[in-house]
Structures are given as structure tokens and as C-alpha cells.
Amino acid sequence: MEDALQRARSVCGEDAVVLAQETIAGGGVTLSITDPPKVGGAAGKEKRIAPRGSIPTPQGGFVESADIVEVRQRLLASGCSSLLVERILGPVKRLQSQGVHAIDATAKIVGRLFKKPTSPKASGNLRVLAVVGPTGVGKTTSLAKLAVLLLRSGRRIAFATMDTYRVGAVDQLRAYAEVLQVPLFVAHGGEELASAIDAAGDFDVLLVDTAGRSPLDTENLMVLARDLERAGKHAELDTYLVLSAASGKDALERARSAYAVLNPRSAVLTKVDETRESGIALEFFLRYGIEASFLCDGQDVNKNIHRASPSRFADLLLTGKIQ
């Protein structure tokens, strides 16, 4: 309303008279205004000001511009709540009225909401990077993908796995270690992980795989938290919470609260290729101030990982996939 009144004043002057008001779908407001009556003369001609992002109809009303309608549909299709959609569309309409195309404006506003993730500062010491998260979300695969990225940027890396619980889990990581020709340490518990860290002093990054635990398995989560805390005393440790975009809001919520005890610095969002509704996970990150560092969109360890960025968030929200 304040916005509409300001625009009315800019068209008809400070003394503009409001004849009528109506709200329109999507939270806009339409004002009928008239010029101030001239001293000794008749009232000015009625003018109707189109709310931002709207266009006038021949019947004298207003409808939203096709671009805004399309952006709204796309955002809703990506799983965003209508509350978030309107939060995005408000500033989009403002930019649009300044001549920015609605899609470009949306990408800009989404980029402002989802900030660029920070990367840990390189200190020259061994960095330990552990992936944690529920069963089957893609921890081991993501670790292999991170290994590929790090190797490409010339880092010396080694793997360690604490997932000695599930049959075949060590072999899965061993297979990646062999293909990538990097060493693999197998650690049964915190003490062995600490030894692996001490032994990996010549490497830049030690990538640590962990056993997937149900968010309800608080006992084992506490054990993992203790093990990682212990390891953290031997090197700089960053824990990444791996979450699947294909899991629903409730599963995300359960994982977030259960894994908070591990104090993850950031999240890896996997399986964005298995859903068109990655907006659910992104909105969830926004709500809890969780930083997403990487987005994964397939099983190929050589290409299906992307550093999270404002433009990739916009891709996911506007097209349902990473372009």
C-alpha cells in the first residue's frame, strides 16, 4: 500500500486523491486516484496506476504480466512455498519495473537470498573433511566426487573410512581409491582415525567417509560425534552434512536436528536430478541458515558435482535442474 501511494504521488502529485482501492491476487494493491481538485476548477481526470508487475486490462482492471505469472509457476513447481515465492516476487516486480527481465530479476533476487558459500581458508596444514548423514543419501559417492575436484585442482589427498559397519562399504571406497590412485586408511573408531590423520601429514586433504546412521540412532550419532571431535584435535576438521534433495521436508528436518550434534559447517545436497522439487531442500536451508557448499546431480563421480553458487540455486528454482 505504501508503495502504491508513493507511486500515486509521483504521478499526480503530493495531493493526489485516492478514489478507491482493491487488492489483487498475489498481494498487490490497485489504487484509483485522481489529481487534486484545482482551486476554482473541476477535479482532474481519473488515472489508474498499474501495480508493479501488472498490466492494465481494457476493462479498467489489472492483471499480472505474463512474465511474473510464469516465474511464479516455475518457483511453485520447484517446490518453494507460496510464502517464499511472494518474498522473491516482490523485489522481482520492482526490478522488472526498472526494465530488468523477470527471469533475470528472479535469478538476481534468488542469488541475494542464497549467498555464495564460503570456502575454508587454506592454511597449508592437513585439512580433514568428513561426510556425515543418513543412510543412502550419497555420502561415499559425494566423497569420491570431492576427491575428483580436489585432484583436479592439484591437491594431494587420501581417503579414510570409518564405515566398517556395513558389508561392502570399505570395498566401495577402496574401489574409488584404486581408480583415483590415492591411499585409503581404514579406521575403526576415533583413535584409529586420529592415527590415520597423523599418518596423513604429507597430504593436503584427508577425506573421511562415515557410516550412515538413522537420525533416530542417537547412540551411534553420539559415538560418531565423539570420534570426530577427537580427530578434530589432530587437524582442522570440517564436517559436511550430506542430504538428499529427493527426501521430503520431514526427513530433512529429522536429519538436521539429529546431526546438529556433529556441528556440520556446511551441507552437500545430492540427487537434485531425482526430483524437480529441489526448492523444498533449498528453502529448508534458507530457513535454518544452512550453507550448501556442493550440489550433486547424478551418479557420475567425474561430472555430477558442482560448487553451489547463486546462479545454480536460481537454475534449480527456475528450471528444476542445474543447467
Enumerate binding residues for Mg ion (CB under 5 A): 139-140
Q: Point out which span in 52-60, 216-224, 251-259, 293-301 binds ligand GDP (CB under 6 A).
A: 293-301
Which run of H or E residues covers position 259? helix 249-259
Q: Which is nearer to ligand GDP, 54 or 140 (CB)?
A: 140
Residue 64 corresponds to which cell in the numbers above? 499480472
* Near ligand GDP by CB under 6 A: residue from 23, 82, 214, 299: 299
Q: Which is nearer to ligand GDP, 247 or 304 (CB)?
A: 304
* Near ligand GDP by CB under 6 A: residue from 95, 290, 304, 308: 304
3-state helix, strand, coil in the chain (%, to 5): 45, 20, 35
Q: Which is nearer to ligand GDP, 32 or 172 (CB)?
A: 172
HSE (CB half, 13 Å, CA atoms) of 116? 5
Reference 260, options 241, 232, 277, 236; nearest CA is 241
Full strand arrangement of the beta sheet holding 17-24: 17-24, 28-34, 46-49
Residue 262 corresponds to which cell in the numbers above? 556433529
Q: Which is nearer to ligand GDP, 33 or 255 (CB)?
A: 255
What is the SS3 string spanning 191-211? HHHHHHHHHCCCCCEEEEECC
Residue 246 neighbours by CB under 8 Å, 6+ apart: 271, 274, 275
HSE (CB half, 13 Å, CA atoms) of 155? 21
Q: How far is the CB of 254 from ligand GDP (least distance, A)?
A: 15
The residue sitting closest to ligand GDP, measured at its beta carbon, is 138
- Using CA atoms, how far residue 311 sits from 90, 104, 105, 107, in Å, is 19, 10, 12, 7
271 binding partner (options ligand GDP, Mg ion, none; Cβ < 5 to 8 Å by kind): ligand GDP
Where do runs of H (alpha helix) occur along 59-162?
Answer: 66-77, 82-97, 102-113, 139-152
270 binds ligand GDP, rule: CB under 6 A: yes
* Near ligand GDP by CB under 6 A: residue from 44, 90, 111, 298: 298
- Alpha carbon distance 269, 296 (integer Å): 6
Q: How far is the CB of 158 from ligand GDP (least distance, A)?
A: 18
Q: Which is nearer to ligand GDP, 80 or 269 (CB)?
A: 269
- Cell 542417537 locates to 218
Q: Point out which span in 42-50, 100-108, 265-273, 284-292 binds ligand GDP (CB under 6 A).
A: 265-273
241 binds ligand GDP, rule: CB under 6 A: no
Q: Point out which span in 31-39, 100-108, 118-126, 296-304 binds ligand GDP (CB under 6 A).
A: 296-304
Q: How far is the CB of 168 from Mg ion (least distance, A)?
A: 9
Each residue 123-162 as x (binds ligand GDP by CB under 6 A) or -, in order, gives ------------xxxxxxx---------------------
137 binding partner (options ligand GDP, Mg ion, none; Cβ < 5 to 8 Å by kind): ligand GDP
DSSP SS3 for 160: strand
312 binds ligand GDP, rule: CB under 6 A: no
Contacts with ligand GDP by CB under 6 A lie at 135-141, 212, 270-271, 273-274, 296-299, 304
